[in-house]
Amino acid sequence: MIVKNIFGTTADGRAVDCYTLKNSSGMAVDIITYGATINSIYAADKDGVFADVLAGFDTIDGHENHSDYEGMTVGRYANRIANGKFSIDGIEYEVEKNEKGITCLHGGAELSTAVWKAIIIDDNSLEMSYTSPDGAMGFPGKVDFRVVFTLHEDNALKIEYNAVSDKKTVINMTNHAYFNLAGKGDVLGHELMINADAYTPIDENSIPTGEIRPVEGTPFDFRQSKAIGRDIAADDEQIKIGRGYDHNFCLNDGDGPAAVAYDPESGRVLEVFTDLCGVQLYTGNFLDGTITGKKGNPLIQHAGFCLETQYYPNTPNMPEFPQCTFDAGEKFKSCTVFKFSVK
């Protein structure tokens, strides 16, 4: 079942709607048209009690003025592009340097601040679309973006990303939900598994150095599930740069989940499946409690963790990484599933 409600109005007068997807076991997902944002996910705990497992905002003002991309669809190039510069076929492009005037972060936030057009496809699926003009934020090509959210009966939320450009361009899309399976407090006690033998270390601007470093013997080894907080303050140069985890993991091939998170207290489990090669684990390190989130509660450090499925960061400047440059007319397509259960 999908129900539409009014969510609010942006400061510049754009109407924002909220679509609630609900399945027969009672799981519900609120998606708002501002940023094609997953605003809330209500999932049951081991006793059948539902809680909102996303940290974020319950007002449009929160999303517009205080956001760190909570729940948003991010693009057209998720993560960072070094110095806001890259070349395609010998043409240099300069894109928005929205992070400290140095890097382009999350495509200059274009997709996450746009009001998307929503179409209810059927009882379980909602389509959001947005067209980014040629040259938006400095990127080449007019791109038609389409994201389809489907809530399945087995409590899996599937996100299908589609995009096509009229010029050769770079496309990297993700969702920036901050999960908190307890629905409160911080996530340091959550256990996390990431199916990655390696990760991409970063420099002081959070740009990958190019090294693919084995996780073995480092705080980045999540191959066996461990508490997020266990090594988050380890004496490690990479942990210090990120003030915790803010790194891309190089996912191993295979059909199983890319990541599994578990909150021992509530019993809630989140499995993440993706066809992409990377995932950014970001543990809300830069949240500091100064911003008010849902129900008036401060967004404290580590209030949520993000598993941003993606191509590795800065690909157009890193030819050795798997590439996400697409020809005119070539289709970008990817799929990520967030599946909830209890144990």
Q: Interface with ligand BGC by CB under 6 A: which residues? A: 68-69, 206, 246, 280, 282, 286, 308
Measured from the CB atom, the residue of 140 and 244 that comes closer to ligand BGC is 244
Minimum Å gap between C-beta 122 and ligand BGC is 32
- Location of structure tokens 């948003």: 72
Helices (H) then strands (E): counts for the chain: 3, 29
Distances in Å between the Cα of 298 and the Cα atoms of 51, 57, 159, 203 are: 17, 10, 28, 30
For 46, phi then psi, to 5°, come to: -65, -15
DSSP state for residue 188 in the 8-state scheme: T
d(CA 56, CA 38): 10
Minimum Å gap between C-beta 239 and ligand BGC is 13
- The answer to whether the beta carbons of residues 234 and 227 sit under 8 Å apart is no
Minimum Å gap between C-beta 158 and ligand BGC is 21
How would you label 229-243 residue by residue, b for 16+ Cβ within 10 Å and e otherwise?
A: bebbeeeeebbebbe
Which residues are paired to 336 by β-bridges? Answer: 159, 274
**Structure-token pair, residue 73:** 């669809």
**Structure-token pair, residue 122:** 């059927």
Minimum Å gap between C-beta 137 and ligand BGC is 15
**Structure-token pair, residue 68:** 């760190």
User: Does 308 participate in catalysis according to the annotation?
Assistant: yes
With a CB cutoff of 8 Å and minimum separation 6, the contacts of 334 are 160, 161, 173, 274, 275, 276, 309
- The answer to whether the beta carbons of residues 201 and 211 sit under 8 Å apart is yes
Minimum Å gap between C-beta 24 and ligand BGC is 34
Q: In what order do the strands lie in the sheet with 306-310?
A: 213-214, 196-200, 246-251, 278-282, 306-310
Give the active site residue among 176, 190, 247, 302. 176
- The answer to whether the beta carbons of residues 116 and 148 sit under 8 Å apart is no
Minimum Å gap between C-beta 247 and ligand BGC is 8
The CB-nearest residue to ligand BGC is: 68
User: Does 176 participate in catalysis according to the annotation?
Assistant: yes
CA 243 to chain centre: 19
Minimum Å gap between C-beta 203 and ligand BGC is 13
Which residues have a catalytic role annotated? Answer: 176, 308
